Amino acid sequence: MYQRILVANRGEIALRIIRACRELGIETVAIFSEADRGAQYLELADEAFCVGPPKPVDSYLRIANVISAAEVGNVQAIHPGYGFLAENAHFNEVCRSCKIDFIGPTPEAMAKLGDKNSARELARQAKVPVVPGSAGLVTSIEEARQFAHEVDFPVLIKAVACGGGKGMRVAANDLALQSALQQARSEAEAAFGNGAVYLEKYIEQPRHVEVQVLADLHGNVVHLWERDCSVQRRHQKLIEESPSQSITPETRQLMCEAAVRMISEAEYTNAATVEFIVDRDGNFYFIEVNARIQVEHPVTEMVTGIDLIKQQILIAGGQPLPFQQEDIPQRGVAIECRINAEDPKKNFQPSPGKIERLIVPGGFGVRFDSHVHSGYFVPPYYDSMIGKLIVHGATRDEAIAIMQRALLELRVEGIKNTSALHREILSHSAFVEGRVDTTFVERTFT
Ligand code: ADP
């Protein structure tokens, strides 16, 4: 097993990985930008190196600097977390050529699944249902029109590289199609340097349900059940839970098996999430694979009792999975609320600044994954998530009650945050009854 790992990330996920390594007896090397210098969680790593100025392109995304830190830190492996370089196949390849293990899939498997268009092709091969869509890339407005008339409006224009809700546009008619096509292309070109797009039928008021998969280097592939992430705003997840309220036990079985088939077909290893949307009739369709650990992984950990970060490290180190499919439970109900430094009353505008006082909730069934503390300064350069509040209850009603109680206990003074909005969502009848789709938050709270 590894003696030393570099954590190529910041904030809560960096802390999460440092903790898992410590428990495994592995030393950690952290990296930080000038904006994160002095952050408390860095003290928990065995060593920490500055990789550049505050902007991500100058530090956390700067491959040469991250690799230098790994070389000087003398590590055997790099854990990329999520975001930043986590799904960068080039970085993955650079790690390989420097003889440093990348804790994740091979660059080949990552490239195959990272491009949404080729991932759709792979899903078709694995006999996994895919959203009706164009056969391949769409390069002209004529092609787009033809497809839209075949499947009927509304359609969704999606960039092959889209992420975080960027590079996606809905078009309801011919007139809207042209500008939507242009907008999706230019947004994706600016954000990801790749303007290639394809078309999908827009599924109205869908649920978002995804399956967690683990695959080792010995051909074992298992699923760890599903997470429902239908509570979203602008295609960004706000609340996640497991099990999903949106599917029947039969659908759950079919969906989990489909996810395993797809990951096996891709000869993919390590952790992956296979994402689906579910239409109003309960049909599910593949939308994408995330070739990394996800923000919402704790809800799966709470219902299965399996530490996903440790499993990622053990898998990369060559260990076979210590369990089989039938040993993986889905026990009770877990819910996660993302606590973002944003002002829900001002269109979710980011609210960086000093946290004057922080009171962290506790008690039975409560977990708070966060790197922040009283006196912490939330820098304006990064994602606005400052913590994840996760609860676990025997039933869904109990989990909701624990979350409501924990949200009341949580105090973040000095900056705006999303906790009050979460309390409203959790007490809304549609959420309590498990009837929310991905448009619920925007229809109800904005
Ligand atoms: P990203 O990589 O930006 O997260 P995804 O493909 O995962 O993009 O889609 C994000 C969200 O967009 C989904 O959770 C869902 O709410 C919505 N979405 C994606 N595809 C469709 C579709 N064909 N019809 C309706 N909504 C969709």
Cis peptide bond upstream of 380, omega within 30: no
Q: What single-letter DSSP state applies at residue 202?
A: P
Q: How far is CA 75 from the centre of its chain?
A: 26
Q: Reply yes or no on whether the pLDDT at 191 is more than 90.
A: no
Angle at 85 between CA 80 and CA 91, to 5 degrees: 100
For residue 131, which atom of ligand 1 is closest to its CA? 23
> Which amino acid type is present at position 20?
A
202 lines ligand 1 (CB under 6 A): yes
Residue 89 class from Cβ within 10 Å (0-12 exposed, 13-18 middle, 19+ buried)? buried
When pLDDT is cut at 50, 70 and 90, the band that residue 117 belongs to is confident
When pLDDT is cut at 50, 70 and 90, the band that residue 291 belongs to is very high
For residue 237, which atom of ligand 1 is closest to its CA? 14
CB–CB of 103/270 below 8 Å?
A: yes
Q: Reply yes or no on whether the pLDDT at 381 is more than 90.
A: yes
Helices marked H in 25-132: 63-73, 89-97, 107-114, 116-125
Residue 329, CA distances (Å) to 304, 361, 392 in order: 5, 27, 14
441 lines ligand 1 (CB under 6 A): no
Q: What are phi and psi of 164, to 5 degrees?
A: 60, 30
Q: Return the pLDDT at 272.
A: 98
Q: How far is the CA of 111 from the centre of ligand 1 (A)?
A: 20
Domain 207-445 sits in CATH at 3.30.470.20
3-state secondary structure of 84: coil
pLDDT digit string, tens, across residues 46-90: 999 999 999 999 999 999 999 999 999 999 999 999 999 999 999
For the question of residue 292 being annotated catalytic, the response is yes
Pick from 210, 240, 249, 214: nearest CA to 226: 210
pLDDT digit string, tens, across residues 251-270: 999 999 999 999 999 999 99
Q: Reply yes or no on whether the pLDDT at 8 is more than 80.
A: yes
3-state secondary structure of 360: coil
For the chain, the average pLDDT equals: 96
Helix axes 249-265, 116-125, angle to 10 degrees: 110
Beta-sheet strands, E only, within 47-165: 47-52, 77-79, 101-102, 155-163
pLDDT digit string, tens, across residues 25-41: 999 999 999 999 999 99
Q: Reply yes or no on whether the pLDDT at 446 is more than 90.
A: no
Q: Reply yes or no on whether the pLDDT at 166 is more than 90.
A: no
Q: What single-letter DSSP state applies at residue 137?
A: -
3-state secondary structure of 179: helix
Q: Quick one: tokens of 190?
A: 């600016």
> Which amino acid type is present at position 334?
A
Q: How far is the CA of 10 from the centre of ligand 1 (A)?
A: 26
Name which CATH class applies to 132-201. Answer: alpha beta
For residue 167, which atom of ligand 1 is closest to its CA? 3
CATH 2.70.210.12 matches 4-103: no
Q: Which DSSP string do the residues of 272-313 spell out, in sequence order? A: EEEEEEE-TTS-EEEEEEE-S--TTHHHHHHHH---HHHHHH
pLDDT digit string, tens, across residues 197-228: 999 999 999 999 999 999 999 999 999 999 99
Residue ranges per structural domain of the chain: 4-103, 132-201, 207-445
